[in-house]
Amino acid sequence: MKLMKYESPATPIDRLFDRLNWGFPLERVFGDAESTEEGWASIRLPRTNIAELDDAFVFSMEMPGLDKQDVSVNIEGDTLIVRGEKSEQHEEKGLIRREYRSTKFERSFNVNGINRDAVKAKMENGILSVTLPKAPDKVGKKVEIA
């Protein structure tokens, strides 16, 4: 499996707006999109660490506030797909500003060369860990020299 460094498509734009925002808060002009219910939830993806072990790949994804019922993990062809959705339905009297919002995301990774039947996932303390064992023919083997 070839892994490429992931950079969000929004990262260069975020950097540009951070520079433009210095000394002139753009949210005064455009409003605070993050505080609206629609917000930018569709582009917020869980941060992911990927580790390669001798016999498996381990994906660790930050998902604060989500329970395992809010997340699905699927292998479709050579693709790992992680989806999540959480709705905030709190009606609070006297609310002046609402920053809790609904979240929905989908993240996919190319994962060829794995043993699909042995994939395991667990959610613990807001971290989803997905272990993808390598296919037997992809696991290295030490050869003894005679």
Q: What is the pLDDT of residues 40-71, one digit of tens each?
A: 444 468 899 999 999 999 999 999 888 999 99
63 shares its domain with 29: no
110 near 78, Cβ under 8 Å? Answer: yes
Asked whether residue 143 is domain-assigned, the answer is no
Is residue 116 a part of any domain in this protein?
yes
Confidence of residue 124 (pLDDT cuts 50, 70, 90): very high
Q: Please state whether the predicted TM-score (pTM) of the whole model is above 0.75.
A: no
Within this chain, do residues 86 and 53 fall inside the same structural domain, yes or no?
A: yes
- Mean pLDDT of all residues belonging to the chain: 79
- Which residue has better confidence, 40 or 125? 125
98 and 126 in one domain? Answer: yes
CA angle 137, 140, 144 (to 5 degrees): 120
- Asked if residue 112 is part of any domain, the answer here is yes
Structure confidence at residue 102 as a pLDDT band (50, 70, 90): confident
Distances (CA, A) of 95 to 22, 86, 91: 30, 20, 8
